[in-house]
Structure 1
Amino acid sequence: MSATPAPPDTPSSVSWEELVTVALLGTDRRTPPWLPPGREAPTALLDLAAVETVRRRAGLRPAPAGARPEPAAADPRPSLPPAAARRLAMLLSDRPGTAGGGRRGTAPDLMELLPQWLSLANERGFTAPPETLPALLDAARGRTDLRPAALTFAGPRALWLARLNPDWRFALRSAPGGGSELPPPTETDRIRRLWQEGLFAERVALLTALRVRQPAVARELLTTTWATERAEDRLMFLDSLRTGLEPADEPFLEQALSDRSRNVRATAAELLSALPDSALAGRMAARAGACVAIDRTQGEPTIVVEAPHECDPGMERDGVAPKPPAGRGERSWWLGQLVEAAPLGSWVARLGGRTPEEIVVLPVADDWRDELHAAWCRAAVRQRNPGWSRALLGPPSAAEAGGPGAVSLAERAKLLSTLAAAERAEWVAGFIATHGLSEAFQLLGVCAVPWAAPLGRAVVDALDIARDAGSYPWSFSGVMGLAERCLDPAEASRFDALTATPDETEDASPGAGGYWAEAFQRLTTTLRLRAAMREELGMP
């Protein structure tokens, strides 16, 4: 085999760029004079490129070493117990199943238990093992619902890592102040300097933190720069006043009713209406009261409604939006806003001294009932009034399954959120016992975890009834998933009898009994796993 002939001398003017250009075009299309002709040209070109590559690398001057990153801030919290650390690694390594056909098998869904585990770990005040932080940040990157608890648990090391990896920058955006430490409330000079010179995220975080500890200080800080803030920033800052809202905020909010921005004016009006003794609430009560009255001339007392005929400038200033959405009448739109913003306590005197329970069962003339009751529902939620919420919900066994005032499951769920946890659970348990699970999913979502014993029994009994009916469990997969995460782990032993495959009746769906047995086996396994999680974290 003959050796490849050496290429002719390469002119010193041949650059790396010329070599690349010839390689891209191909030596068949362009053979420069410094390459041998014919079939040897490609080999010679590659030899020249190899030599030039070595020359380029050898001639590269080393750059100065970059500064070493500062170590992560110390985390004084105690480390996880070894068993809990192993459990965390197992939860983070789980991947959602992809099995089809509606069957999940009996294995627990570990990723769905991760939020609960993080909540328990934060409650105990533990810090994350450093080796788990990458997986924890990856999990939080894919699930926004995990981020608050995950970043609290991960602590300052997560922010340190986020500055080094663009994939984890969400942690800097999600952390208070963009990952920077907020000054303590005693350092007034630092607080004022951060408020005047800080980034927007830092200022929002500062204002929010101050509203939790010192509402008046946060409000006074906001007044110092209010006139020079951008409209979108004013809206965000104003929204932070929801935390710790108090009567002392009224003068500032009244001033904001004249703001240049319509959204700022609307938010200020909403906040003022949540203060029952505010001047705006009084104005709204007068307007709403002029539209709603008792007619005693029809045999039984009846509520009559005369909706507003115009939206005057005063109403607009107080937050009433003049233009209704598509498909909504103007007068009903204005009425709903007035009633929603009026203090609920004003209706007792306006409607003859009746209690909320007596008011909501009164007949309403001219088909205004749904509009009026829906506005009262929104007012009860806005003003966090449990008395009116109870009246509007009615008994859970009511024939309409929603009480005299609720207009939708979503509205009922909001009303329930104003009640104490025990009362909420008791009402939902009664609802399920009467109406089953088909409409209960939204209502279960607002109940405190773990579910109270009466609610847990009502859910499991309803699932057992659905199994006896012979249907497949997939129609109840959402409720079953909630039960796995929300039932009291101490109740696991009560469900052992449900894990056996029952005898199928003639009218049952084929194989339904086996599928239900799998679902109940997964439920008991998950509850026992949750109990083990609590024990590993030292929870009683």
Structure 2
Amino acid sequence: MTRTPATEPITVPPESGLWDDLVTSALLGTDRRTPPVGAHGRHAPAALLDAAAAETVRRRAGLRPAPAARLPEPAPEDPRPPLPTAAAHRLTTLLTDRPGTAGGRRGTAPDLMELLPQWLAAANAHGYAAPPQMVPALLDAARGRTDLRPAALAFAGPLALWLARLNPDWRFALRATPGGGSAAPGPDETERVRQLWDEGLFAERVALLTSLRARDPGAARALLTSTWATERAEDRLMFLDSLRTGLEPADEPFLEQALTDRSRNVRATAAELLSALPESALAARMAARAATCVSLDRASDPPVITVEAPHECDAAMERDGVAPHPPSGRGERAWWLGQLVEAAPLGTWPARLGGRTPEEIVTLPVADDWHADLQAAWCRAAVRQRDAAWARALLGPPTAPEAGGPGAVSLAERAKLLGTLRAVERAEWVAGFIATHGLSEAFQLLGMCAVPWAPPLGRAVVDALNIARDAGSYPWSFSGVMGLAERCLDPSEAGRLDGLLAIPDEPEDASPGAGGYWAEAFQRLVTTLRLRVAMTEELEAV
């Protein structure tokens, strides 16, 4: 046998297809496809594995060295001050810990992940930089929860974008920032704005337009106008939606032009935006149409609102955003009427209905069962036009005998009407509602209130929870309100809750184990409130 001299190069035989044959045998099974190694029967599986191991070594040994990949540029510096040590430890806990559970119950441990949004908001308010070693965990958390992304990316800073370019799982960070840079183009960077608008990805262009709109509505509108005719319909719709920020009378010519767009959705959005400008020509046209449908019969005592809904939806109405075809189960005339009234300026109605105030108008009787349609349309108009006076009138007093106001037809509409009021007034109204009607219908309304809850609202929620506990109410039905209270109640209320931590005596008709659940829930609430105090103190430590 002749040995190959050590000085001669060792050559690797060319790829023979053996690996593909081995894979095929493994997938089909050695009883159906004999391995290409000469073994049969019960010896075939072991022979297949041996051959695969040998072939793997051969294939790896045959790899030729490749040029080293170019090293990435160093991560940019973050000039912000570092987190205090205690706050950094707290962030680690918030990102990694989970509340304990026992028998399907949450126990008394706070839900730390739900406190992360508040912590991030506070850290950003102090201007701290994220610890570099925690940025990957922050990005993972933001990837799973879109509501965390703005605050998490602001806190993570330029390092988040640097890492996002290296890991496809974090690409959302690049989409959230125009151009994938550390900041949006500045007001003087016209060339960079133009280049990004012309060459950027769609998500980057949306982010650019939104950020530009927030600081210079006119410049954003000019940028959009420059390429409007060449944009896709679905892109035009998204771009048009960005005009909601900083909507102003100067937008009217562009929006009027969009009323003739090829896309029905674009036309409808343009009409909605124009109707939110009470001085626009479209608002005047809708007011004229709506006024012909709604009038006051002064011969009645008391006067009655009469309604003559449209009998057709003509081309001019369609151009102004009226959808001609109602949803299933809705009559055409009621559908058209609602759209006209919703788009008409609310200032139309005092003059049309005898100089009455909104409070007086919403209490007038309406003939022929048009009451619900008319007032529901006024609710939508108050929300669209951000009219607090009409919102108050339609909400009615929170202590009204019925949970619904004179015009609100659902909890969702009441919540939207509350959104037009100032934060203090909103909290006071919801507090009065809870004091009168309890918590059973208040969850959606509480979500509209500023955090932390104002003292009257916090007291109303705690008192209502205490009443429910003493009444032996089914405790799990209040878990949603308890969760909101943990995040939204002013931490100063913790002292008032100490008397609720004991297990109460259960009435005979109470749910089994309800007392223990209530005590556990209040203990978790108190623990969470005190934890929020500690979080604030840690962030303020020098």
Q: Same fold (TM over 0.5)?
A: yes
Q: Secondary structure at the match of 1:304?
A: strand
The AA in structure 1 aligned to 2:156 is: A
Shift of 1:313: 0.9
Aligned twin of 1:204: 206
- What is the letter of the counterpart of residue 208 of structure 1? T
Equivalence for 2:223: 221
The separation in 2 between residues aligned to 1:48 and 1:484, in whole angstroms, is: 61
- Check whether the contact 1:472–1:516 (CA below 8 A) recurs between aligned residues: no
Give the structure 2 partner of residue 411 of structure 1: 413
Equivalence for 2:196? 194
Q: 1:52 to 1:252 in 2, by over 3 A?
A: closer
Separation in structure 1 between the aligned mates of residue 538 and residue 35 of structure 2, nearest angstrom: 74
389-398 or 89-98: which moved more?
89-98
Output aligned runs, 1:19-58, within 5 Å.
21=21, 24=25, 56-58=59-61
Pair 1:104-2:110 in alignment: no
1:8-407 residue pairs with structure 2 within 5 A? Answer: 16-18=16-18, 21=21, 24=25, 56-95=59-98, 97=100, 99-101=102-104, 103-178=105-180, 181-407=183-409
Listed one character per residue, the Cα deviations across residues 265-307 of structure 1 (whole Å, up to 9, x for unaligned) are: 1111100000000011000000000100000122211000000
Task: Find the aligned partners of 2:333 and 2:379 in 1 and give their Cα distance.
Answer: 19
2: distance between equivalents of 1:248 and 1:395? 37
The Cα shift of 1:31 comes to: 9.0
- Answer whether contact 1:473 1:516 (CA < 8 A) is retained: yes
Q: d(CA) in 1 for partners of 2:173 and 2:32?
A: 54
Distance 1:104 1:199 in 2: 44
* 1:373-522 alignment runs, 5 A limit: 373-522=375-524
Aligned to 2:3: none
Q: Is the 8 A contact 1:120 1:534 kept in 2?
A: yes
Q: Deviations over 1:101-151 (max 9, x none)?
A: 4x3211111111111111111122212111112222222222222222212
Q: Kindly tell me: are residues 163 and 295 of structure 1, through their superposed partners in 2, closer, same or farther at Cα, counting changes over 3 Å?
A: same
Deviations 1:345-399 (A, max 9, x none): 1111111110000000000000000000000000000000000000000000111
SS of 2:321's equivalent? Answer: coil
Letter in 1 for 2:17: E
**Displacement after TM superposition at 1:30 (Å):** 6.1
Instruction: Give the TM-score of the pair, scaled to structure 1.
Output: 0.91
Aligned-partner residue type, residue 268 of structure 2: A
Where 1:303 maps in the other structure, the secondary structure is strand
Quote the Cα distance in structure 2 between the aligned partners of 1:493 and 1:213. 44
For the residue of structure 2 that corresponds to 1:300, the secondary structure is coil
* Counterpart residue type for residue 184 of structure 2: L
Please say if residues 99 and 109 of structure 2, whose CA atoms lie closer than 8 Å, have aligned partners that are also in contact.
Answer: no
Unaligned stretches of 5+ residues in structure 2: 1-11
Deviations 1:417-473 (A, max 9, x none): 000000000000000000000000000000000000000000000000001101242
Q: 1:51 to 1:360 in 2, by over 3 A?
A: closer
Aligned CA distance change for structure 1 residues 68 and 345 (closer, same or farther; 3 Å) = same
Q: Distance in 1 between matches of 2:311 and 2:444?
A: 37
Kindly indicate whether the alpha-carbon contact (under 8 Å) linking 2:82 and 2:130 is maintained by their aligned counterparts in 1: yes
Of the structure 1 ranges 74-83 and 335-344, higher mean CA displacement relative to structure 2 is found in 74-83
Q: Given that residues 22 and 30 in structure 1 are in contact (C-alpha distance below 8 angstroms), is that contact kept between their aligned partners in structure 2?
A: no
Q: d(CA) in 2 for partners of 1:197 and 1:418?
A: 39
State the identity %: 78
Kindly state the Cα deviation for residue 514 of structure 1 after the two structures are TM-superposed. Answer: 2.1
| Aligned partner letter, 1:84 | A
Say which SS state the counterpart of residue 91 (structure 2) adopts: helix
Cα distance, 1:240 vs structure 2: 0.8
Amino acid at match of 1:88: L
**CA displacement, residues 473-514 of structure 1 (integer Å, 9 cap, x when unaligned):** 211100011111100011111111111222334443333222
Question: C-alpha distance in 1, partners of 2:382/2:541?
Answer: 36
CA distance in 1 between partners of 2:388 and 2:338 (Å): 20
Shift in Å at residue 517 of structure 1?
Answer: 1.2
Change (3 A) 1:200 1:49: closer
What secondary structure, in the 3-state scheme, does the structure 2 residue paired with 1:378 have?
A: helix
Contact 1:336 1:371 in 2 (8 A): yes
Distance 1:432 1:66, change over 3 A: same
Q: Is the 8 A contact 2:342 2:378 kept in 1?
A: yes
Structure 2 vs 1, CA of residues 71 and 302 (structure 1 numbering), >3 Å: closer, same or farther? same
Alignment size in residue pairs: 527
Deviations 1:219-273 (A, max 9, x none): 1121111112111111111111111100111111111111111111111110000
Change in Cα spacing, 1:40 to 1:310, as seen in structure 2 (3 Å) is closer
Aligned-residue offset at 1:200: 1.9
Secondary structure, counterpart of 1:537 in structure 2:
helix
Change in CA separation of 1:15 and 1:426 when aligned onto 2, cut-off 3 Å: closer
Contact between 1:337 and 1:375, CA under 8 Å: does it hold in 2?
Answer: yes
Q: Partners of 2:119 and 2:411 in 1: how far apart?
A: 30
Residues 511, 62 of structure 1: CA spacing in aligned structure 2 closer, same or farther, 3 A cutoff?
Answer: same
**In structure 1, the residue corresponding to 2:306 is in which secondary structure?**
strand
Q: 1:323 to 1:485 in 2, by over 3 A?
A: same
**C-alpha distance in structure 2 between counterparts of 1:315 and 1:176, whole Å:** 38
8 Å Cα contact 2:143-2:170 kept in structure 1: yes
How far has the Cα of 1:415 moved from its partner?
0.2
TM-superposed deviation, 1:43? 8.7
Q: Secondary structure at the match of 1:299?
A: coil
Structure 2 CA distance for partners of 1:15 and 1:229, relative to 1, 3 Å: closer
State the TM-score, normalized to the length of structure 2: 0.91
Contact 1:35 1:45 in 2 (8 A): no
Partner of 2:4: none
Cα deviation for residue 400 of structure 1 reads 1.8
Distance in 1 (CA, whole Å) between partners of 2:85 and 2:463 is 38
- Over aligned residues, Cα RMSD in angstroms? 2.7
Paired letter, 2:275? S
The change in CA–CA distance for 1:515 and 1:39 in structure 2 (over 3 A counts) is closer
Shift of 1:41: 9.6
Check the 8 A contact 2:100/2:109 in 1, yes or no. no
Listed as ranges, the gaps of 5+ residues in structure 1 are 1-11
From the superposition, tell whether residues 19 and 283 of structure 1 become closer, same or farther in structure 2 (CA, over 3 Å). Answer: closer
